Structure 1
């Protein structure tokens, strides 16, 4: 007789085996699939499961069938993103459930859309980008061309051909066909990004997707905008007309006027590579009464367009990016109004050596409380001095303004009585050694100060523990 047989088996015996737990088998087996874990959970809920062996818990029966789709979806939502793709490999049911979870899709295969598999495989899509699928790239090329939201492969023969995109875009009728397929299958669609569509495509989309709120149109033209009025619930709109080296299209005052009359509920508008003038911008300002954010990027507008900004009564944010000029001839200053509700002015990657345009812009935006100038060239002391027109600035951010000097900065910010926060980064001509007593006194009154104008600046480290940057602290002393 073995030693185990001779030992007592009373309930109080220390050698008595612990009752098996349903968590033991899968915790001790790291290769156990997630589906088996769910099966174990279901089986553990049964009163008789405690009497079953650990091996029988992982039987071939799919016990997840007893769970509803809503419960499985709630379980899948708890998984990290890194495991989301693995879930779709478990079974067909989980593949379909995972497809229902996906909301955003960037499409690269146009045939996948036309066949209807996109909308059947992912029926709950709300955000779809079709731009890259509208191109016919070279499949065997290792040259990848990227420009913002567009990326595609090009062959070595077409690397020097700047009309490559124009020549390889899908025909507008084919694009409209894909838009119709998407619209009929995605009633929950909220945002669409597309290139080379037509008025008919927009009309069919608006009819099928009445809840569409955000639209981004590349290679946009005046004719395309004739179908924009059908999108009654549109809130965010981006129009891309001309992109140097990729494609060109014309958005003029005609298109801007059509847009203004058809999209009166717009909250955000971006005009990139668009033409136009005072009349087109004025029409938008007068008709789009709830517009709060306007972005002008790489504009081709005629002189005098800045004066039309005064017609935007509820505009809060004005963003100007990648513009080679502001406004060469804005007209007499006495005829310039101002944006009454404007709070933020943002200039990024623009040429600011146009003094007349800068004077007009600062005059129209004289009531802003936040000014952000980033990576702009040509911002000389004379040009920046025009910022004295601002009356209520509380926050200033300067980054990458390499020609602005310390004296030029001081001459302006000492006139801003309400300044509370300032950020100066990568402005190499602003020096610690040139800080005056008046400027150091201003630093002591600021609530927040970020000071890294160049790599040799020691002021930022000196500020730590000195109380600078807190209103009411003691004055900064030069070392």
Structure 2
């Protein structure tokens, strides 16, 4: 018999702890990895070892899966489960970050510190608009504009002063663009405000795949940097915004843009002050341009005639424009867009009959006309649309001055009309529908007729017989 068996309380019975025991004791995830390796070796030796798995239900079996395989599984789950899945463990948090492609930055330090690159390494779309604004935390006052939303300390100053006070300096924004370009060379879409020519040049040199750019507080000098983005296809320029900030985009900037970004497909000009020369340069250089949106334009007379140089333009949108064209001049100087298919007018002020006539003259080849909440469109102005002989789709919403007579005078001249939408046009009455207009309705492929609440009610009750039941219950005897 040994000495250890004779004296169980002997100090020789307890061996000193080993370093591996202490390490494994305080590293719970490592125990899971060791167990997973043991479980995998048992399964390969004994097919009956699968019965051991239910006894270890508290073990994370996803440790047996590689990152690539688990990433494919997580990518198949719906987007609504993305945030809950990221709370499972650090590994899932990292993998979910690799699945994120689009992100709106609210904290500028998150970008410049490098945490953005580590947390979301595969970003393709980044929005820096709100991140470029320094707003105090836990403030009870919130300023909301069409494009930005920010907290403020006090409310006794104008929106312009407030934005200038809380907007990050140009040098800081350029530094953020430098960090963004270094971390995401495959960036495809970017939204930014108060950037300079230098910052955009850095972005253009590093991010060769950049295809979509939205630039706020833009001016002619900044457009020199945008011109270096040779693969840019979608561009939105915001120059002057009433009550928020003021920047100048003129023909000089539009010409620089046209000579650099020759692959543009979609272009939106908001609050810009170009004229004939700027639009002409875009039409002559950007041969792939298919969609042009002009919002709140401050352009000089002549810009409308330059649209004829956009030979491949298919869609023209006018949004929130206080005027269209003050002095159109003779028709022979206007020209027209031969490839134009869609004309959309939304929240525009149609004050001048000459300008509306000139607009429809330039867009006489359109097949789709949409007029939404435009002030001033009456029967006389809508008659000018008769020159558009190829219209197949017409949508009128919020045109309170237009009557049934004015609608009929125009749509009966469109022999190819297939779809008609009339919504919230209170002066268009069902009682004024003529037999010719009723015949046109029968030949349409699609008709949405809701000019007022009464028409909506009658159309919803049509065919149910509910409108005739009152006579049966309240019949006189």
TM-score (norm 2): 0.85
Q: Deviation per CA, 1:306-343: give whole Å up to 9, x if none.
A: 00011110000000000000011122112111101000
SS of the counterpart of 1:308?
helix
Compared CA separation, residues 63 and 260, structure 1 to 2 (3 A): same
Three-state SS of the structure 2 residue aligned to 1:305 is: coil
* Preserved CA contact (<8 Å) 1:120 1:185: no
Give the aligned partner of residue 132 of structure 1: 130
Which residue, out of 254, 257, 263, partners 1:256? Answer: 254
Q: What's the secondary structure of 1:302's corresponding residue?
A: coil
Instruction: Give unpaired runs (5+ residues) of structure 1.
Output: 1-34, 466-479
Larger Rg: 2
C-alpha distance in structure 2 between counterparts of 1:333 and 1:244, whole Å: 33
Find 2:270's aligned residue among 247, 268, 272.
272
Distance verdict in 2 for CA 1:440–1:460, change over 3 Å: same
SS at structure 1 position matched to 2:304: helix
3-state secondary structure, aligned to 1:418: coil
Q: Is the 8 A contact 2:159 2:244 kept in 1?
A: no
Q: Is the 2:141–2:155 contact (alpha carbons within 8 Å) kept by the matching residues of 1?
A: no
Change (3 A) 1:161 1:284: closer
The equivalent position to 2:446 in structure 1, one of 442, 445, 448, is: 448
Where does 1:46-445 land on structure 2 (aligned, <5 Å)?
47-52=47-52, 54-59=54-59, 62-158=60-156, 160-445=158-443
More helix by share: 2
Deviation at 1:126, TM superposition (A): 0.3
Query: Does structure 1 conserve the Cα–Cα contact (< 8 Å) formed by 2:322 and 2:348?
Result: yes
Asked if 2 retains the 8 angstrom alpha-carbon contact of 1:353 and 1:383, the reply is: no
Question: Match of 1:476?
Answer: none
User: Number of matched residues?
Assistant: 425
Report the CA distance shift for 1:226/1:137 in structure 2 as closer, same or farther (over 3 A).
Answer: same
1:84 is displaced (CA, Å) by 1.3
Q: 1:327 to 1:72 in 2, by over 3 A?
A: same
Distance 1:382 1:53 in 2: 81
CA distance in 1, matches of 2:148, 2:82: 26
Instruction: Give 3-state SS (helix, strand or coil) of 1:163's partner.
Output: helix
Q: What pairs with 1:16-35 in structure 2 (closer than 5 Å)?
A: none
Where does residue 19 of structure 1 map in the other structure? none
| CA deviation after TM superposition for structure 1 residue 259, in Å | 0.7
Partner Cα distance (1:333, 1:141) in 2: 57
Q: Given the superposition, is the C-alpha separation of residues 322 and 161 from structure 1 closer, same or farther in structure 2, using an over 3 Å criterion? A: closer
Are positions 1:460 and 2:454 aligned together?
Answer: no
Describe the SS at the equivalent of 2:227: helix
How far apart, CA to CA, are the structure 2 residues paired with 1:316 and 1:51? Answer: 66
Q: For the aligned residues, what is the CA RMSD?
A: 2.0
Deviations 1:38-82 (A, max 9, x none): x8xx979863343326232333xx443332211011111233323
Counterpart CA distance in 1 for 2:304 and 2:43 is 70
CA contact (8 A) 2:360 2:388 kept: yes
Separation in 2 of the partners of 1:394 and 1:82?
A: 40
Q: Deviations over 1:179-233 (max 9, x none)?
A: 0000100012100000000110011001111000000000000000011221111
Q: Deviations over 1:247-292 (max 9, x none)?
A: 1100000001011111110000000010011111111011100100
Query: Structure 1 length normalisation: TM-score?
Result: 0.85
